[in-house]
Amino acid sequence: SAGGHILSLNFGSEEIFKNRVNGPYELRYISISGQSYLDFSFYPFNTQFYNFNSFDPPNAWLTGNYSDFGEDTDRNGLFEYLAIEAGIQVNGSGTYDLSGILSGNISGEFISFTSANTTIILNPGSHIIKLRFSGLKILNGGVDGPYIFSNVALFDKSRNVLLESQQGAHITRAYKYTD
C-alpha cells in the first residue's frame, strides 16, 4: 500500500558472533523491489555499538588457541606425527568433527601435503582437540617447517552444520622434515 513503512532486517546472531568483530555495524547496501525495481541506497545505516559477545554463539567454535609438537610414539628419536592442538569452546553437547590441512613453503609457494581430522563427542565447556599429521607424509613432502595449518573446519555432525572454517589458522615451529 502507498505511504511510509518500516522494514526490519534481521541478521543471524551466530554469524555476527563467529566474525568476532565489535560494532557499530554498517549496512552497506539495500534495495527495494516488488513487481519492478523501486529504489536502492549505499551505506544507508550504521548501528549503535555492540560487543560481538552479546550475540548468541553457535553450539561450538574455535577459540583461536593453537599449539604444535612432534610425537615420537615408538621412541626411535623420529616423529611419527606432528600434532596440532586446537582450542574449542562448546555450548551444546554433540558430535563434532575437526579437520585441517598442513602446507609447506616450496620455492615461495605453499603446497598442501597432508591432512588430518578427528571426530569426537563433546559436552559443554572448553576443550583442546588434537589432530595428528603423518610424519611419513611430511617426510615424503621434503619440506622443512614452519608449516601452515589451514582449511581448519569445525563441523557439528549432530546437526549436519559447518560451524566455522579458518584459513591460515596457525604457523608451526620450524621442524625439519627429517625429524
The answer to whether the peptide bond before residue 44 is cis (omega within 30 degrees of 0) is no
At 47 the pLDDT is 81
| Beta-carbon-side half-sphere exposure of residue 22 (alpha carbons within 13 Å) | 4
At 25 the pLDDT is 81
pTM of the shown model: 0.76
Instruction: Give the chain's length.
Output: 179
Q: Which residues of the chain are under the pLDDT cut of 50? A: none
Torsion angle in degrees (nearest 10) through CA of 88, 177, 76, 100: 20
At 174 the pLDDT is 94
